[in-house]
Amino acid sequence: MSETWEMATLDWSLAGADGTIVRPADVGALILAGNEEQAKNAYYRVADAVSHNGWVYPCALTVVRTVLAALPKCGVEARGRCLDLIADAIAKEPAPGAGQVVEACLLEARNATWYFIYGIQFDDVELVGSYVDVLGCLGKRFEDLRHIAVKYLELAFTRNLVRNDPTIIRNTIAELKNE
């Protein structure tokens, strides 16, 4: 994959777990994964550096920015994994010495709230659970987004949901209403 404009403008020297450096090619492999196996392999290479043992590492901000810019281009297999990366980066605590990385990732995700709202309504139904995770995190961290997250999570019930998504949605709504 050639380097995207976003990749060219970001700091790829920020360390991940165990000092791992995530390369643009690693994130590019995830973004452009053409099947579930490729997406899974690329995801684990990136996710293990971004978030490990409940900690989020400095490289998360670069990865989140790149993934957010590429979400509309990702295939379904890759998009779900990208959403999982975003959720991990905004739901956990910064690693010791990682500064305000989680807060910075939260602000990036907040700026893309419209995309998550669009996705929960129109994207592949298999991805609803991943959108719920991201919107739930944003609703918990930003009081002014809480009612918006609840509204769109409730509207998600109008879709033909799969697996245990209804339970996840009900639990997330309950958490947000109790915040």
Burial class (CB in 10 A: 0-12, 13-18, 19+), 160: exposed
Average pLDDT of the residues in 114-140: 97
pLDDT at 120: 96
Residue 41, domain extent: 1-111
Residues 30 and 76 in one domain: yes
Query: Is residue 2 scored above 80 in pLDDT?
Result: no
- Indicate the number of domains in the chain: 2
pLDDT at 5: 79
Query: Is residue 1 scored above 70 in pLDDT?
Result: no
Residues 127 and 98 in one domain: no
Other Cβ atoms less than 10 A from the Cβ of 64: the count is 26
pTM over 0.85: yes
Residues 3 and 90 in one domain: yes
Residues 99 and 136 in one domain: no
Q: Which phi and psi (to 5°) does residue 93 adopt?
A: -100, 150
Give residue-wise pLDDT tens across range 113-123: 999 999 999 99
Residues 100 and 120 in one domain: no
Give residue-wise pLDDT tens across range 56-83: 999 999 999 999 999 998 999 999 999 9
Q: Which of the listed residues 86, 111, 136 is the one where a domain comes to its end?
A: 111
As a whole number of angstroms, the distance between CA 167 and CA 41 comes to: 28
DSSP H or E segment with residue 51: strand 51-52
Residues 75 and 107 in one domain: yes
Reported as a pLDDT band with limits 50, 70 and 90, residue 112 is very high
Please answer whether residues 32 and 78 qualify as being in contact, where contact means their C-beta atoms are separated by less than 8 angstroms.
yes
Give residue-wise pLDDT tens across range 6-57: 888 999 999 999 999 999 999 999 999 999 999 999 999 999 999 999 999 9
Q: Which of the listed residues 51, 77, 111 is the one where a domain comes to its end?
A: 111
As a whole number of angstroms, the distance between CA 57 and CA 118 comes to: 28
**Of the candidates 94, 118, 29, 27, which has an alpha carbon nearest to the alpha carbon of residue 65?**
27
